[in-house]
Amino acid sequence: MKAPTLSRPRAAERRPRMNTEREMEHRRMKRMDFLQSMCFMGPSFLGVLVFFIVPFLVVVYYSVIRNPMNREFVFLDNFTALLQNAAFLSAAKNTLLFSALAVPLAVVLALGLALLLESRIPLKSQFRTFFLSPMMVPVASIVLVWQVLFNANGVVNDFLGLTGADKIDWIKSDYGQIVVLTLFLWKNLGYNMILFMSSLANIPRELLEVADVEGASEVYKFFAIKLRYLSPTVLFVTILSLINSFKVFREVYLLTGGYPYGGLYMLQHFMNNTFESLDYQKLSAAAVIMALAMVVIIAVLFKVEDWFGKDVEG
């Protein structure tokens, strides 16, 4: 009898096996890439976990117990007591008022300065240097300049004396927030302006040229083209200015100390003074409320930016 011969596998039978091997190799490479990425991200993630996430969870825990010695669960009692605290309500009102004034002004003025510097004006480099100089000067030095300008015997009062007006202790009066607002704007406008200038340079020139050919006005080009492409930068600058407005405590503390005039008593003063008295429950509840308020505000800003700039991204 004739011995049977082994037939070679057909190409159709080999193809599924090759595809399976390729898929397995692809999955193996993806696992290796994921592990390498985790190795690189691990130290940063560990730092965020240890120094941010875990401490915040501890703060949330302290906000719902009686005190560190008596760990009885009281749920919202600490928050209720905090919302009835006159010092907290005053600090929250002053901080919200300051942020409501400072953040829009920081965004609008920085955008206006960027548009101004985009055009051809004389002394452009000197103008830019004036607004960027606060970034190179320590906060203590800036505060010292403001004290020289606005204290009871300062330069501003000397000019008022020439007009026969009465001297004003600006920092310890109802004008205190205006003084700090001016300091905040001068200190932050330069960085915001640079961000807007960078975004303006990335707007497609073709769109602006087409608008010029069609006879579009500068106002139309700004709102229909420039502002839509600037929406992500507007969001970033708004969030950055909001965070900086909550951190104005350093300047106010150096100007006035831990217990300033009523209009300058900010949430940071309340937090600092509460920490000194070791009232952990009040401090933790205030921190949680501030965190929730920031999350809500930033979520609203993201939603507005997504609605306003979605056609540009598409």
Encode pLDDT of 80-135 as tens digits. 989 999 989 998 999 999 999 999 999 999 999 998 888 777 777 777 788 788 88
Residue 198 has pLDDT above 80, yes or no: yes
Residue 120's Cβ-count burial label (10 Å; 0-12, 13-18, 19+) is exposed
The predicted model gives 13-19 an average pLDDT of 59
At residue 311 the predicted structure's pLDDT band, cuts being 50, 70 and 90, is low
Look at residue 163 in the predicted model and tell me its pLDDT.
77
Rounded CA gap, 114 and 199, in Å?
Answer: 10
This prediction's pTM: 0.78
Confidence of residue 4 (pLDDT cuts 50, 70, 90): low
22-36, 42-56, 189-203, 280-294 — which is least confidently predicted?
A: 22-36
HSE (side-chain half, CA atoms, 13 Å) at 86: 1
CA distance 178 to 8: 89
Helix pair 176-201, 139-150: axis angle to 10 deg: 130
Q: How do the domains of the chain map onto residue ranges?
A: 85-313
The pLDDT of residue 106 is 94
Coil vs helix vs strand at 311:
helix
- Give residue 19's pLDDT band: very low, low, confident or very high (50, 70, 90): low
Q: What is the CATH number of domain 85-313?
A: 1.10.3720.10
Exposure of 131 by Cβ count < 10 A (0-12 exposed, 13-18 middle, 19+ buried)?
buried
Average pLDDT estimate for 228-246 = 90
Burial group, residue 187, by CB count within 10 angstroms (0-12, 13-18, 19+): buried
Averaged confidence pLDDT in the chain: 83
Query: Is the pLDDT confidence value at 259 over 80?
Result: no
**Given the structure tokens 């501030």, which residue do they identify?**
290
Residues 267-275: contacts with CB within 8 Å, 24+ apart?
267/88, 267/91, 267/92, 267/95, 268/95, 269/91, 270/87, 270/88, 270/91, 273/87
Dihedral sign from CA coordinates of 294, 192, 130, 120: negative
Query: At a CB cut-off of 8 Å and minimum separation 6, what does 18 contact?
Result: none
pLDDT at 302 over 70: yes
- Residue 234 structure tokens: 């507007």
Largest CA distance in the chain: 131
The stretches of 84-226 forming alpha helices (DSSP H) are 86-118, 124-132, 139-150, 155-162, 176-201, 205-213, 218-221
191 within 8 A of 241, measured Cβ to Cβ: no
Percent of the chain having pLDDT more than 90?
Answer: 14
**Span 190-209, average pLDDT:** 88
Q: How large a percentage of the chain has pLDDT more than 70?
A: 92
Cα separation, 187 vs 106, whole angstroms = 10
